[in-house]
Amino acid sequence: RLKPFNRLQVILQHLKMSNHTDSTAEVLLEKRGGAGVITLNRPKALNALTLPMIRQIYPQLKTWEQDPETFLIIIKGTGGKAFCAGGDVVAIRDAGKAGDRMTQDLFREEYILNNAIGTCRKPYVALIDGITMGGGVGLSVHGRFRVATEKTLFAMPETAIGLFPDVGGGYFLPRLPGRIGFYLALTGFRLRGRDVLRAGIATHFVESEKLPALEKDLMALKSPSTENIADLLNSYQVKSQVDQEKQFVLDEHMEKINSLFSGTSMEEIVEKLKQDGSPFAMKQLEIINKMSPTSLKLTLRQLREGASMSLQEVLRMEYRLSQACMRGHDFYEGVRAVLIDKDQTPRWKPAALEEVTEEFVDNCFKPLGNNDLKL
């Protein structure tokens, strides 16, 4: 028999090991009932997506898609604050400055994962409870079901850091009602709670505290069809009373959004905002003036072109844009100003929309030959 001290050591050692496998893994992948469950597990970093996480999720998603015993896939985040606040842009910036391959690999593998979610043959249910931005949108919005809660905070804030709303933003944003997608993409406007459903980004709304019960019910479904899953989600949505009375936050501005953000160039949109002169228009002008002029022009063209493309064509286009941003100035400066030094005063180059030439924008969209994204 083990001496008491040794036995304690063995127990502690065992606890350490089991903790190690559970709590320190950046992503947890488990099969529960008929469901494959992906849990993003970087709560301190608001579950920001890293390249190692992408490399774990993708093969597992493909395995579950082929597995006759897996009927649906659920993705969620830990920590109660965020589903996934985006990609690890500080790491991307550091890699880009060092000339590291990660600036190619991360975007390439992330977009391949976005496409796998968009084409997944099994129902895919994203529980977007908490902050859902950038890379977190890519992990959810292309799936069949997106369940928002009163804690959901959705945004595509990339133009503020010298990037563009990628991860398939060029596909889903121009397909939202009216010009909402263009407005969200250019201004980084944040939608909360039920408004994420009303804007057409989420498919369902369920109160946050009901999610554990919903998850259990999803796992308990015996060989469910998409219809069974939809019925279950609908039954939860019907019982969710939070913010039911409130009208859509953008309701009173929709007419203006649709007319002001329908310009064919950034200069035209800015001119329309100036001419409109309303408090709403002036506020949008002020926001747009803080964004990277290069990002604004790339984003507007990305959405205009993406409106008539397939998801695969959009991701190929966005990969070209991502590499153009990695070669440029504004992404590094934007991440510095917003996330590293936090002085919030990026010095964009060029500093004005008029200085971002058509020729420069065209170049960013050019094919990369052998380096193009292959899906």
Q: Where are the alpha helices (DSSP H) in the chain?
A: 4-23, 51-66, 89-97, 102-118, 135-138, 169-172, 180-187, 194-198, 211-220, 226-238, 254-260, 266-276, 279-288, 293-306, 311-327, 330-335, 358-364
Residue partners of 45: CB distance under 8 A and separation at least 6: 85, 88
According to the model, what pLDDT value does residue 11 have? 54
DSSP one-letter string for 251-265: GGGHHHHHHHTT-SS
* Catalytic-role residue among 158, 207, 318, 330: 158
Exposure string of 109-140, with b = 16+ CB inside 10 Å and e = fewer, is: bbbbbbbbbbebebbbbbbbbbbbbbbbbbbb
Backbone region of residue 162 per phi and psi (left: phi > 0; alpha: psi in -120 to 50; beta: other values) = left
Annotated active-site residue 166? The verdict is yes
According to the model, what pLDDT value does residue 20 have? 42
* Catalytic-role residue among 33, 36, 86, 87: 87
Tens-place pLDDT, residues 158-178: 999 999 999 999 999 999 999
* Catalytic-role residue among 33, 86, 135, 334: 135
According to the model, what pLDDT value does residue 24 have? 82
Query: How many angstroms separate the CA atoms of 100 and 263, rounded?
Result: 38
- Tell whether omega for the bond before 350 is within 30 degrees of 0, i.e. cis: yes
Domain boundaries, the chain: 25-371
pTM: 0.93
Query: How many angstroms separate the CA atoms of 191 and 150, rounded?
Result: 11
310 backbone dihedrals φ, ψ, rounded to 5°: -75, 165
Annotated active-site residue 87? The verdict is yes
Residue partners of 279: CB distance under 8 A and separation at least 6: none
According to the model, what pLDDT value does residue 19 have? 41
Helix (H) or strand (E) holding 372: none
Residues in the chain, pLDDT under 50:
16-21
* Catalytic-role residue among 88, 110, 129, 166: 166
Query: How many angstroms separate the CA atoms of 302 and 163, rounded?
Result: 12
72 backbone dihedrals φ, ψ, rounded to 5°: -155, 165
Q: What is the dihedral of CA 184, 185, 189, 192, to 10 degrees?
A: 60
Annotated active-site residue 158? The verdict is yes
Nearest Cα residue to 284 out of 263, 305, 315, 304? 263
Whose structure tokens read 């959009």?
A: 314
* Angle formed by the axes of helices 89-97 and 102-118, nearest 10°: 140
According to the model, what pLDDT value does residue 1 have? 53
**Can you name the CATH fold of 25-371?**
2-enoyl-CoA Hydratase; Chain A, domain 1 (3.90.226)
Handedness of CA 359, 360, 364, 368 (dihedral sign): positive
Cα–Cα separations (whole angstroms), residue 195 to 106, 152, 263: 31, 9, 25
